Amino acid sequence: MIRLLISCVLSLAWVCSAQADNGAIAYAYPVSGITVDGDLSDWPDGLQRYPIQLNAQQEVTPGDENFSADFRAGYDVDSRSVYLGIEVTDQLHSTGDISDVSWSDQDGVIVYFDRNHEPQGSGAVLYSATGDQRQLLTSSGHWDADVEQAGWDNVTLEVKRHENTTTYEWRIKTAQPLKPGSSLGIDFLISDSDAVDHDEAAALYVWGPGFAKSQAGGRIGDLLLIDPKKNLGTLQGRLDWQAVAQQADSETSDTQPGQPRPQRVRIVASDNPDLWLHAAVDDNGKYAVTLPVGDYAISIPDKTFGDPWSDLQVVAPGKAVVASVSNGETVSAPLLHVATLAAPDILHSKGVLFDYTPEQAESVDSTILALMDYYQVPGVSVALVKDSQLVYHRALGLKNTYSAEPVTGETLFEAASITKIVFAFAVNRMAQRGEIDLDKPLYLYLPFEDIAHDERYKKITARHVLSHQSGFPNWRWFNEDGKLDIKFYPGIKYGYSGEGFEYLGRVIAKIADKPLETVLMEEVQRPMGLVENTYFSDTEALYPVASRGHIDGKAGPYGFPEQIGVAHSMYTEAETFSNFMINLIKQQGLSAEGYARMLEPQIEVPLEPEQRPQWPSRMGLGFHLMNSPYGLVFGHGGNNGDFQCIFEIYQDHKMGFIVFTNSNTGVALIDDLREYLITGKEQPESVAVGD
């Protein structure tokens, strides 16, 4: 389901559905007498080797005859050390000066190491070894403070090349004691470059499935520290959707064909909470894992799973099943039932915003909190405007689920593509003064070298960009070759594009002969009330107030842009942004003619079958326009993956709402909240497109 006003500015890390704990499991055995010298001959015989062979983006076995990689693991309680032996066999070992060549364009290894291994999503330290270079790839401002404090002082690494094999031998000492029978988080990324001059990106291979593993908690595999005093057995089981009542205790289910299942189960030792892991679930709902002898509880760890835009599943808490693992045997756990959880009943016969009074604030609070709990949205900032006035504002929840830091009135959220509206308003003001001709080809203001090979680009105007008719893709990195192209002749149809806005941003900076931050301050922020609590690029002021983004409930790192991106980079919060909305309702900052031009439909926006709401939509000059049963609706949404947001103005009623969320599941909350605020139970039927 593609929500109408929420448009995508995704980075490559969020293109596909997120990977939680990826279900990969390895076993480390006690070792002693190992010298870290790049020679694994002093390692115990018989340690299992785990292949590192999944393509990091496509998650398929590459089958490259010229490349193979694997690892083995051990641990020593006395020295609090984890040992890792990685062997990479390839025909060409290519390294260079990392100051000139990216680590991903040459041969190297990244080890992801999460000693804390907290179920709520602790972070992994990234140790990178490329040639003679040793780096920590962890960014500052990490959601897990322990990760930021990590260094190389506790790591010993030796690398040796012999014939076609490169050996990476690691010892990672931990601050806390290692406990046999516990588990920690670990994963690997191998870069393999076959280009001598580094002119082609290296192939990337991982151990456990998934990618962008440092971008949220719990995306790496599990390493089980085997207790030599305990024997092992195999636990297998199956999960499926809840059967009808009379079958609830049987091994059958009434799964609907094609209905997705959770992709993992959580397994926790009954007598040792430090022994827990996530086992992958196959397409038939089956899982299997080798474990120390003992009792285990198996449960569904995620309340939500699936694509929030199309098939989000919300699961009832359910009851864990218990199984006992026996020495050398394979035991089957009882069928683990999965049941959907009914959505909260929040709708009134009519949308509450139409007749909102201050006495209803508590009811709105409880509704938002219920939706946050249902969709597992950690934090929100919400404002309601009625009769051209702010009548409600709340900042609720958590800005970091791992640290449990609360959202406050000062907490800022990524506004994602709502940034486009702020920039578009500045362009419309400049057009009103005649400083830019909306129908003059942009290349006449500023040529664009990246696309100069395609003569069609000389037809692109500011009008095309603002109404998403430029022909550019949303982002060039969505293309297989990563290069900018033109998808269709400019001006003939709708095609959402952040690239077009970024080009127009450079044009505006050239025309104004000012930095874009200055243009936005003068044209929008000061006249429209967006000065406070609003930023467009990295600054120290953001760190204490910015919310973390969350994927499937797990916090991620800050992603502050180094420079302004007019398509996506604004940080703000609902109360501040309501000033902008109120001034739009009052038609401040532009003449009546300027507003008429800005809100004049330019192109129809195709609707998806399941899209909410099913109101005919078109693009104005920057704004999405909807022809609703309540009159003209205009606004915009934003989707940065781990942040979802929207604002809508119902012009005939001089009212609107703004919602910022810090979660990929926020899009579902926004849909339901719109129904609560606007449409109610007695939703008017869709209307035909008017003139």
Q: Which CATH number applies to 12-225: 2.60.40.1190, 3.40.50.1010, 3.40.50.1100, 3.20.20.450?
A: 2.60.40.1190
Per-residue pLDDT tens for 593-647?
999 999 999 999 998 877 788 899 999 999 999 999 999 999 999 999 999 999 9
Query: How many angstroms separate the CA atoms of 228 and 292, rounded?
Result: 9
**Residues 262, 263, 264, CA angle at the centre, nearest 5°?**
95
End-to-end Cα spacing for the chain: 28
β-bridge mates for residue 396, sequence order: 380
Which superfamily is assigned to 358-679 in CATH? DD-peptidase/beta-lactamase superfamily (3.40.710.10)
Please give the Cα distance from 142 to 139 (Å, whole number): 6
Q: Give me the CATH topology for the region 232-338.
A: Immunoglobulin-like (2.60.40)
Distance CA 288, CA 263 (A): 13
What are the distances in angstroms from CA 226 to CA 105, 268, 523, 554?
36, 15, 63, 28
What mean pLDDT is predicted for residues 395-418? 97
How far is the C-alpha of 244 from the C-alpha of 230, rounded, in Å?
40
Instruction: Give whole-number Cα distances, 28 to 70, 171, 181, 272, in Å.
Output: 14, 13, 10, 18
Closest by CA position to 193, among listed 65, 94, 110, 97: 94
**Beta bridge partners of residue 270, listed in sequence order:** none
Matching residue, tokens 């002119």:
199
136, 124 in Cβ contact below 8 A?
Answer: no
Nearest to residue 573, comparing CAs of 542, 552, 551, 550?
A: 542
Please report which confidence band the pLDDT of residue 217 belongs to, taking 50, 70 and 90 as the band edges: confident
CA distances from 107 to 90, 92, 124, 473, 661 (A): 10, 9, 22, 32, 39
Give pLDDT tens digits for 248-293: 344 444 445 457 789 899 999 999 999 999 999 998 999 999 999 9
Same fold, 232-338 and 358-679: no
CA distance 460 to 253: 56
Amino acid identity of residue 498, one-letter, is G
* pLDDT tens digits, one per residue of 436-492: 999 999 999 999 999 999 999 999 999 999 999 999 999 999 998 899 999 999 999
Query: Comparing C-alpha atoms, which of 548, 660, 640 is closest to residue 120?
Result: 548
Token pair 């006690």 in the structure block, residue? 30
* Structural contact between residues 62 and 44, judged by C-beta atoms closer than 8 angstroms: no
Sheet holding 272-280, edge to edge: 272-280, 264-269, 294-299, 321-325
In this predicted structure, what is the pLDDT of residue 256? 53
Quote the CA–CA distance of 453 and 458 in Å, as a whole number. 10
Residue 477 class from Cβ within 10 Å (0-12 exposed, 13-18 middle, 19+ buried)?
middle
Of 110-124, 303-317, 639-653, the least confident? 303-317
Mean local confidence (pLDDT), 50-68: 72
Q: pLDDT: is 247 or 262 the higher one?
A: 262
Q: To 10 degrees, what angle do helices 498-512 and 418-432 make?
A: 40
pLDDT at 504: 98
- Amino acid present at 171: R
- Cα–Cα dist 125/108, whole Å: 16
The CA-based dihedral angle spanning residues 138, 139, 145, 150, taken in that order and rounded to the nearest 10 degrees: 40
pLDDT at 260: 77
Please give the pLDDT value at position 133.
Answer: 87
Please report how many Cα atoms fall inside a 13 Å half-sphere around the Cα of residue 265, on the Cβ side. Answer: 29
**Minimal CA–CA distance to 327: which of 226, 234, 225, 228?**
234
Distance CA 412, CA 549 (A): 11
- Would you list the DSSP string of 70-93? EEEEEEETTTTEEEEEEEEEES--
What is the total residue count of the chain? 691
Q: Beta-strand (E) ranges in 401-488?
A: 405-406, 413-414
Over residues 229-251, mean pLDDT: 73
pTM of the model: 0.91
| Alpha-helix residue ranges (DSSP H) falling in 479-559 | 498-512, 516-520, 526-528
pLDDT of residue 269: 96
Q: What is the pLDDT of residue 140?
A: 76
Give CA torsion, residues 121, 125, 131, 133, to 10 deg.
140
Q: How confident is the model at residue 96 (pLDDT cuts 50, 70, 90)?
A: low
Residues 6+ apart with CB under 8 A from 503: 442, 448, 460, 465, 470, 472
What pLDDT score was predicted for residue 55? 80
Q: Bridge partners of 111?
A: 127, 188
Q: CA-to-CA distance for 241 and 263, rounded, in angstroms?
A: 13
Are 361 and 341 within 8 A, CB to CB?
A: no
pLDDT (tens digit per residue) in 521-577: 999 999 999 999 999 999 999 999 999 999 999 999 998 999 999 999 999 999 999
Domain boundaries, the chain: 12-225, 232-338, 358-679
The pLDDT, as a whole number, for residue 92 is: 76
What share of the chain has pLDDT > 90, as a percent?
A: 76
Q: What's the CA gap between 445 and 577, in Å, rounded?
A: 31
- In this prediction, residue 101 carries a pLDDT of 52
Q: What is the pLDDT of residues 164-208, one digit of tens each?
A: 999 999 999 999 999 999 999 999 999 888 765 545 667 889 999
Question: Could you tell me what percent of the chain has a pLDDT over 70?
Answer: 89
Higher pLDDT, 7 or 678: 678
Mean pLDDT of the chain: 89
